[in-house]
Amino acid sequence: DGGITQSPKYLFRKEGQNVTLSCEQNLNHDAMYWYRQDPGQGLRLIYYSQIVNDFQKGDIAEGYSVSREKKESFPLTVTSAQKNPTAFYLCASSMPGKADTQYFGPGTRLTVL
Amino acid sequence: GNSVTQMEGPVTLSEESFLTINCTYTATGYPSLFWYVQYPGEGLQLLLKATKADDKGSNKGFEATYRKETTSFHLEKGSVQVSDSAVYFCALSDHSTGFQKLVFGTGTRLLVSP
């Protein structure tokens, strides 16, 4: 079955540590996205990538980094510079030119202790 | 900038009740409008969409009509089920930066009791 996988589902880290969240898709989509979801704030775009080896900052990119070395993979690193990293992180993908119809993964809940 | 405003939740209903979740938007031009649903512990799924004024999107008994005159896209269902309990997000497509992206509302939680 085609889809998007995110791992792990729950992640705990100590303050000051970098952590990388995985996102893999086998939908053959060119575009991929990372969102952050906080209670009462909906989804906010962190980074997006329209094609391999290219990515752009979204609305809240500070304290995060990404890479896009393969079409299938778009990992997100939450760095120690992110002041409030505890959140639910969602990865999504879409066909080229079809950013309005995005397919979402199940999400990773990151808790920084 | 473009934005979406949804009614605050939670919305609590009994099974077989009528559902309305309000959504209004602010946008330049004529965006496409969407409703996404998030079931507990899962990612978002596209529920329905409308791409131009007066279009009606529908799926799984849910409907929403693109109203340009009132800048609204309210979600309705005639008879809700317990399985409809979820968080519902209204969204619009934003082309203002040259890249097409989605702008989401804050979400409305629906709780349906037997």
Residue A24's pLDDT band (cuts 50, 70, 90): very high
Q: Which tokens hold the place of B72? A: 């609204």
Average pLDDT over residues B34-46: 91
Both tokens of A98, joined, read 């079809």
Least confident of A15-19, B53-57, B72-76: A15-19
Integer Cα distance of A27 and A99 in angstroms: 14
Say whether residue A61 is in contact with chain B using an 8 A CB cutoff. Answer: no
The model's confidence at residue B46, banded by pLDDT at 50, 70 and 90, is very high
The pLDDT value recorded for residue A1 is 61
Task: Find the CB nearest B43 among A45, A101, A107.
Answer: A107
- Using CA atoms, how far apart are residues A76 and A64, in angstroms rounded to an integer? 7
**Chain B interface disruption, residue of A102, A103, A108, A109, most B CBs within 10 A:** A102
Backbone angles phi, psi at B84, to 5 degrees: -85, -5
Query: Each residue of B56-114: pLDDT tens digit?
Result: 999 999 999 999 999 999 999 999 999 999 999 999 988 766 677 889 999 999 999 99
Q: Convert the pLDDT of each residue in A61-111 to its tens digit.
A: 999 999 999 999 999 999 988 888 999 999 999 987 777 788 999 999 999
Q: For position B61, what pLDDT does the model report? A: 97
Does residue A79 contact residue A15 with C-beta atoms inside 8 Å? no
Q: Which residue of A has its CA nearest to B40?
A: A106
- Shortest Cα distance from B43 to chain A (angstroms)? 4
Contact at 8 Å (CB) between B99 and A47?
no
Q: Cβ contact (<8 Å) for B100 and A90?
A: no
Mutate which: A5, A94, A100, A101, vs B, most B CBs within 10 A? A100
Of B42, B45, B31, B48, the closest CA to residue B94 belongs to B31
Which chain B residue has its CA at the smallest distance from A91's CA? B43
Omega before A8 cis (within 30°)? yes
- State whether residue A56 sits within 8 Å of chain B by CB: yes
**How many residue contacts between A and B have a Cβ separation below 8 Å?**
52
- pLDDT category, B30, cuts 50, 70, 90? confident
Place of tokens 């890249």: B99
Contact B2, B105 (CB under 8 A): no
- Percentage of chain A beyond pLDDT 90 is 72
3-state helix, strand, coil in chain A (%, to 5): 0, 55, 45
As a whole number of angstroms, the distance between CA B22 and CA B5 comes to: 8
